[in-house]
Amino acid sequence: MKNYLNKIMNKQVVAMLALALALPSCEIESIPDPNNSTIESVLENASVADLNNLVVGTEAAMRIDLGTYYDDLGVVGREHYRFSSAEPRFTSDLLGAGSAALDNNTFYTTRPWNARYRAVKNANILIASVNNTNQITEQQKQGYLGFAKTIKAHQLLMNLTLMNENGIRIEVEDPDNLGPVVGREAALTAIASLLAEAKAHLDQAGTVFAFPLSGGFEGFSTPETFLKFNQALAARVAVYRNEFAEALTFVNNSFLELTTNFDKGVYYVFSNASGDILNPLYFAPNATGEVRIAHPTFVTDATPDDDRLSKVAQRTAAATQSGLTGQYDVALYETNLDPVPLIRNEELILIYAEAKIQTGALQDAVDALNIIRAGHGLQPYTGAITQEALIDEMLRQRRYSLFFEGHRWIDMRRYNRLNQLPIDRTGDDVWVSFPIPFNEDV
């Protein structure tokens, strides 16, 4: 995998990236810099170089506070424990210990929310700049807009996965006149519409983008191939909306391959270059102080010989905190430079299987699930060929295939199965939604 900025970042880009990331989440400020462009200058007849700097800043902002986001999803969803010598709320608030509840004014709520809206803001600046310049061709304009709206939709969806029924803000273009917080269904509809708008732009964007993308988009860096990423996200949104016929259309227009090419996809990438960041989901094996421990049931519930058990690694000594104990580290990543998937082919196969189950094409679903099983050393499915049984099987395969990728809690929630997640201590709770941050004044 290419280092994130090793080809596309120079000193000018570093300055713009830093500017983009430094701005607060809900307002756009003009910060004069005698050596580099200001936001005001970018919004007025921006050059290709200016716009490309904004693309870099937008992509970089997507990676901020990913560690907290994945801990939120994984801990509440009982995929892993997050033990921290400095922060007890990972094992109290997130697990609902005793009288503890989720706090609307603390790091695990505010940091992911602010980080995702920071990326949305960068995308909005890019959209506004593209729409207010004569320095680019029409096809180039369509490419920038297709990129920006796809990324914006993805970032909004990430916040919605946490907030769920509490909703999110969709209209945040004007920092002085923010739109209302809308509920889950309205937000999903808006996100789906945004992806459709992006598709329309990408269809008119020609054969090449005017901007480079990081190595995380290798294989998806032209309008045609980036559109396949857009359609993959649209398929994910469609299953969240229970629009399964639409999901089939989208997934068939994505980069789906009904093969064991499971890791093909789009990734966040990291490097140790100056100004870049490291993979926040990596902890060294047998770490102490700050660790992620796989929930014990990930191992005890697994089918023997399932190679997905390699996603955890047995520790030399058990880790214990707050009455919780685990023998296995989360071990998806071998180093702090490893890429993290946004979406990959294995998820698309499982979306395809789910949509086939829900539209009555049960044998097609079995065939797809057997691709997953065979790819991980398991024998073909031999259970009942009924919708109910295949939903159980699909959710099981999603649990193991997509472990620590941010799906388990969402999947169990959308199938009304949160009561099937394990309760490890008397009095613990499984939350349905995170609260809207206190400073949003809703």
Averaged pLDDT, groups of 10, the chain, 442 residues long: 34 38 37 47 91 97 98 98 97 97 98 98 97 97 98 98 98 94 98 98 98 98 98 99 98 98 98 95 97 98 97 98 98 98 98 98 98 98 98 98 98 98 97 96 62
143 falls within a domain: yes
34 falls within a domain: yes
- Whole-angstrom CA distances from 318 to 77, 83, 285, 324, 434 are 21, 12, 12, 10, 30
The Cα 192–Cα 76 span in angstroms is: 26
Place of tokens 């980080």: 115
For residue 84, what pLDDT is reported? 97
The Cα 421–Cα 372 span in angstroms is: 23
54 falls within a domain: yes
Q: How many domains does the chain have?
A: 1
Cα distance from N-terminal residue to C-terminal residue, the chain? 43
**Residue pair 9/2 in contact by the 8 Å Cβ criterion:** no
The Cα 428–Cα 191 span in angstroms is: 33
262 falls within a domain: yes
425 falls within a domain: no
From the number of C-beta atoms within 10 Å of its C-beta (0-12, 13-18, 19+), residue 327 rates as: middle
**Residue pair 155/116 in contact by the 8 Å Cβ criterion:** yes
Instruction: Give residue 202's domain range.
Output: 11-277+338-345
271 falls within a domain: yes
**Residue pair 27/187 in contact by the 8 Å Cβ criterion:** no
166 falls within a domain: yes
- In this structure, the strands spanning 265-268 and 340-344 are antiparallel
416: left (phi over 0), alpha (psi -120 to 50) or beta: left
368 falls within a domain: no
Instruction: Please name which of 109, 114, 106, 108 lies closest in space to residue 22, comparing C-alpha atoms.
Output: 114
Write the CATH number for 237.
1.25.40
